[in-house]
C-alpha cells in the first residue's frame, strides 16, 4: 500500500506552468509520468480553433501521455472565476458552446472524465435561479460525456479560497451528483474528491471517504497548509489514499499542487520514480 500503490496523474494547469502548454506533456513524461489532466486550457474561449485542439492532441501523443481528466470551460481559471454552469447570461452560453467541443476533444484523446465547475454565486441573482440553470447545464454536460463514454465530475472547492462557490462540502457536491443522475437516468455523474479542498473546509476526511468512495470518479491531492507537494504540510495523504483504496476506489489520483519556487520537475521527490508511470 502507500504511494507506490496508486495511479497518479499530473495536473498540467498547476504544475509545469513555467513552460508553454504544448511543452508540458513532454516535461511530465520526462519526470516519469504517463498520465496527465488539465483545466480548460483556453480560458478566453470555449471553442478554440481546431488547429489549437489538434496541436494539444499531438503534444499529448508525442509525449506518450494519456489525458485522464479535463475541465469544461470554467471562465478565468486561474483567476476570479470558479466555473460557468450556474452563472446566468454570457458565461452560461459559453459553457453550452463548450460542451460538445470539450467532449469531442476528450473523445479524440481517450479522456474518460470531464469536470464541470459549478460557478460562483452572483450578487443580485436568486441562488435558486442559479441552481436551476446549473442543473440544466449539467444535464446537457452529462449527456455529452455519456455520448463519448465519459463520466461527469462535480467538485467541492474550499470556502476560504472560493468564498462565493456554493459547493464547499462533500454533501453539497453529492447532492448535485444525485440531482444530475436523477434527471438524466445515466448514472455517469460522479464526485470529484479533492483532499486538499475538503481539508481546508475542516471536513472529517476518513468519514467522507467511507461515505462517498463508491460515488467518487476522480481524486485530487495537495498538502495542507500551503497546497504544496505531499510532505510539505501536515495532511496524512498516504494514509488517506490507502483508505480510499480499501474503500474500493481504484481510479486516478491527480497531483494538483503548487511546486513552489523550484522547477516543477523537482517537486516529485516524495514519489519513487518507478511509481510514476500509470498502471
Kindly list the averaged pLDDT for each block of 10 residues, start to end, along the chain of length 279. 91 98 98 98 97 98 98 97 98 98 98 98 98 99 99 98 98 98 98 98 98 98 98 98 97 97 96 94
Q: What is the largest CA-CA distance in the chain?
A: 52
Number of CB atoms found within 10 A of residue 149's CB: 13
pLDDT for position 79: 95
Return d(Cα 15, Cα 217) in angstroms, integer: 22
* Chain centroid offset of residue 65 CA: 17
pLDDT for position 279: 81
* Residues forming the active site: 155, 256
Cis bond before residue 153 (omega within 30° of 0): no
Return d(Cα 207, Cα 204) in angstroms, integer: 5
pTM score > 0.95 for this model? yes
Query: Cell match 510532505: residue?
Result: 231
What does the angle CA 42 – CA 198 – CA 163 come to, to the nearest 5 degrees?
65
Amino acid at each position: 500500500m502507500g504511494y507506490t500503490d496508486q495511479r497518479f496523474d499530473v495536473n498540467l494547469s498547476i504544475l509545469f506552468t513555467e513552460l508553454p502548454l504544448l511543452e508540458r506533456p513532454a516535461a511530465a513524461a520526462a519526470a516519469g509520468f504517463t498520465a496527465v489532466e488539465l483545466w480548460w486550457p483556453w480560458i478566453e474561449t470555449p471553442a478554440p480553433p481546431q488547429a489549437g485542439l489538434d496541436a494539444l492532441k499531438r503534444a499529448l501523443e508525442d509525449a506518450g501521455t494519456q489525458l485522464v481528466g479535463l475541465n469544461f470551460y470554467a471562465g478565468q481559471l486561474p483567476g476570479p472565476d470558479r466555473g460557468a454552469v450556474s452563472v446566468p447570461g454570457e458565461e452560461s452560453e459559453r459553457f453550452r458552446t463548450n460542451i460538445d467541443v470539450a467532449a469531442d476533444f476528450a473523445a479524440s484523446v481517450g479522456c474518460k472524465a470531464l469536470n464541470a465547475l459549478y460557478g460562483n454565486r452572483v450578487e443580485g441573482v436568486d441562488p435558486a435561479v442559479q441552481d436551476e440553470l446549473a442543473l440544466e447545464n449539467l444535464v446537457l454536460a452529462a449527456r455529452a460525456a455519456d455520448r463519448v463514454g465519459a463520466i461527469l465530475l462535480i467538485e467541492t472547492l474550499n470556502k476560504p479560497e472560493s468564498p462565493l462557490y456554493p459547493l464547499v462540502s462533500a454533501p453539497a457536491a453529492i447532492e448535485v451528483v444525485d440531482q444530475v443522475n436523477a434527471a438524466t437516468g445515466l448514472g455517469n455523474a460522479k464526485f470529484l474528491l479533492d483532499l486538499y479542498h475538503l481539508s481546508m473546509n475542516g471536513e472529517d476526511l476518513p468519514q467522507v471517504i467511507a461515505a462517498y468512495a463508491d460515488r467518487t470518479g476522480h481524486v485530487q491531492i495537495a498538502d495542507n497548509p500551503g497546497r504544496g507537494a505531499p510532505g510539505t504540510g501536515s495532511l496524512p495523504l498516504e494514509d488517506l489514499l490507502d483508505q480510499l483504496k480499501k474503500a474500493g476506489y481504484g481510479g486516478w489520483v491527480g497531483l494538483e499542487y503548487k511546486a513552489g519556487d523550484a522547477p516543477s520537475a523537482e517537486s516529485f521527490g516524495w514519489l519513487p520514480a518507478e511509481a510514476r508511470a500509470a498502471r
